[in-house]
Amino acid sequence: MFACWGCDLRSGYPACGLVALFRRKRVAVQFRSLSTLPPLGSRLTLVLVGLLALTCVWIVFHPARFGPASPSHDVDLYRAILARVRAGQDYASAAIIEHRRLHYPLRPFFVVRPPALTLMLAALPPGLIPKLLYIAIAALGFGAWVIRLRFEGASRLIQVCLLTGLGLGMGAAVLGIENSLWFHETWIGFLFAGALGVRRVGRVWPAVLAGLLAALLRELATPFLLAMGLAALLERRWGEVAAFATAIGLVGVEIVWHAQVIRSLTNGADLHSQGWLTVGGLGFLLETTTWNLAPTLFGGWISALILPLSLIGLILWDGPTGLRLKLVLGGYCTAFLLVGRPDNVYWGLMIAPLIGLTAGAGVWGLIDLLAPRPSSKS
């Protein structure tokens, strides 16, 4: 019923009217097998990934690898700003006061987070409700992939590998909710996963809205919209290109407005950020990919395997979704090689679910490669 080798997940639909509705305009999730690559390509891929894995192992166990811990004071900043907004103060003034009080930089303007997340939390009753909303968005992102893989006929092995990887990629943020709730990047990561899970040909607006909301929460999510728009451009889906271009334009308007508001309230005496172009290389990239539950469950050594497994998954993932994952993760991972201070490793929360998802695909690829092949009979 299901394809196994070089899997095209378009087979195996259950016979029901709802599935038939999705089937008419679906975008199949497609994988190829390492065993189906040309011999040189397959061997070269394994050699390169093996070298990357060995390098990652060395970095993970190198004593000088770890920089300063992820900044716990940021949570204090976000809580203090939220308390002022709940007391009736406008967001910009509250943010300026707390940045100065806690000796945070105020220049350039984007060191002050956009107001969307704080205003949303301020509108909700404190306590359980924000946490339930947070968990609900994570569940929607996960559920989108459960439905997608089922409707597109994924084998049980592929479903287990991908959903386990996705769950591990989301798990650290969900279990650490007391602190992770306050980080914009965790919400963004859930929205990225949901956007790619629900996107299909002829019905892209849920993905556009999820990506737009992520970028309104923080400007660091804008590259996701760019990658999605570029993928649509490469596929000549002009309506989709226009939709993502519109979303990017709206984010641009929000950024300009935010810049004007913050600049009107700051002066030359305010602290300036020390900058982010540090060329942290593979060490920093590895730090950003450790926001995963697997190291907690199985030990820190496994963090050395997450990135190589994700790379295998990206190589094997074909089709429209594979293209978008390559552009999104390729863009962010390349950026993290060059940009980001040691205390910015929490940026990895934005891509943690997708890293987990593609690492799960990499596990499937290795299982598929090592599995015995059915003998051909003449």
Alpha-carbon distance 208 to 214, whole Å?
10
The closest of 281, 291, 267 to 96, measured between CA atoms, is 267
* 105/118 Cα distance (integer angstroms): 19
Q: What is the pLDDT of residues 185-219, one digit of tens each?
A: 999 999 999 999 999 878 899 999 999 999 999 99
- 232-283 pLDDT tens trace: 999 999 999 999 999 999 999 999 999 999 999 999 999 999 889 999 899 8
pLDDT of the residue at 373: 62
- 23: how many CB neighbours lie within 10 A of its CB? 14
Using alpha carbons, select from 2, 21, 24 the residue that is nearest to residue 11: 2
> Looking at per-residue confidence, does 114 or 155 come out higher?
114
Give the pLDDT band (50/70/90) at residue 183. very high
CA 22 to chain centre: 25
Are 251 and 225 a contacting pair, CB within 8 Å? yes
Distance (Å, rounded) from C-alpha 305 to C-alpha 53?
A: 6
pLDDT given at position 64: 56
With 0.85 as the threshold, say if the pTM is over it: yes
205 vs 184: CA distance, rounded Å: 22
Domain assignment present for 2: no
| Mean pLDDT calculated for residue range 340-347 | 91
In a domain, 22, yes or no: no
How much is the pLDDT for 169?
97
Is the model's pLDDT at 21 over the cut of 70? Answer: no
Residues 11-40, mean pLDDT to the nearest whole number = 50
Q: Above 70 in pLDDT, residue 145?
A: yes
30: enclosing H helix or E strand: strand 30-31
Asked if the structure places residue 286 within a domain, the reply is: yes
Q: Average pLDDT for residues 96-104, to the nearest whole number?
A: 96
pLDDT at 24: 42
What is the rounded average pLDDT of the residues 102-126?
95
d(C-alpha 228, C-alpha 31), whole Å? 20
pLDDT attached to residue 29: 57
Query: Given a cut of 60, is residue 18 above it in pLDDT?
Result: no
Give ∠ CA 252-258-259 in degrees, rounded to 5: 90
Give the residue, 15 or 253, on which the prediction is more confident: 253
Q: What pLDDT is stored for residue 42 in this prediction?
A: 61
Residue 62: left if φ>0, alpha if ψ -120 to 50, beta else—which one? beta
Q: State residue 374's pLDDT score.
A: 60
pLDDT at 67: 46
- Mean pLDDT score, 67-94: 85
Q: Residue 171: exposed, middle, or buried by beta-carbon count in 10 A (0-12, 13-18, 19+)?
A: buried
pLDDT for 57 equals: 87
So what's the pLDDT on residue 269?
Answer: 93
Angle of the 352-370 helix axis to the 319-338 helix axis, nearest 10: 120
The predicted-structure confidence for 40-79, as pLDDT tens digits, reads as follows 556 677 788 888 888 888 888 875 554 444 445 899 999 9
pLDDT(16) > 90: no
Give the chain's domain count.
1
Residue 152 has a pLDDT of 83
Looking at the domain assignment, is residue 20 inside a domain?
A: no
> CA 115 to CA 100: how far, in whole Å?
17
User: Does residue 376 form part of some domain?
Assistant: no
CA proximity to 229, closest of 255, 204, 197, 252: 204
**Whether pLDDT at 344 is above 50:** yes
Range of the domain at 345: 34-63+72-369
Residue 5 lies in a domain: no
Report the C-alpha dihedral over residues 357, 361, 364, 369, rounded to 10 degrees.
-160
Please state, in angstroms and rounded to a whole number, the distance separating the CA atoms of residues 352 and 170: 7
What value does the mean pLDDT of the chain take?
Answer: 86
Of the chain, the percentage scoring pLDDT greater than 90 comes to 67
Average pLDDT score over residue span 299-317: 91
Report pLDDT for 104. Answer: 94
Check whether 144 has a pLDDT greater than 80: yes
Q: What is the pLDDT of residue 49?
A: 85
| In-domain check, residue 264 | yes
3-state secondary structure 301-318: HHHHHHHHHHHHHHHHEE
Task: Examine residue 21 and state whether it is found in any structural domain, yes or no.
Answer: no
Which of 24-28, 223-227, 275-279, 284-288 has the least mean pLDDT? 24-28
**Residue carrying structure tokens 């899970």:** 197
CB-based contacts of 318, cutoff 8 Å, min separation 6: 30, 31, 32
Q: pLDDT tens, 151-177?
A: 888 889 999 999 999 999 999 999 999
Section 276-304 average pLDDT: 90
Vertex 214: Cα angle to 238 and 334 (nearest 5): 80
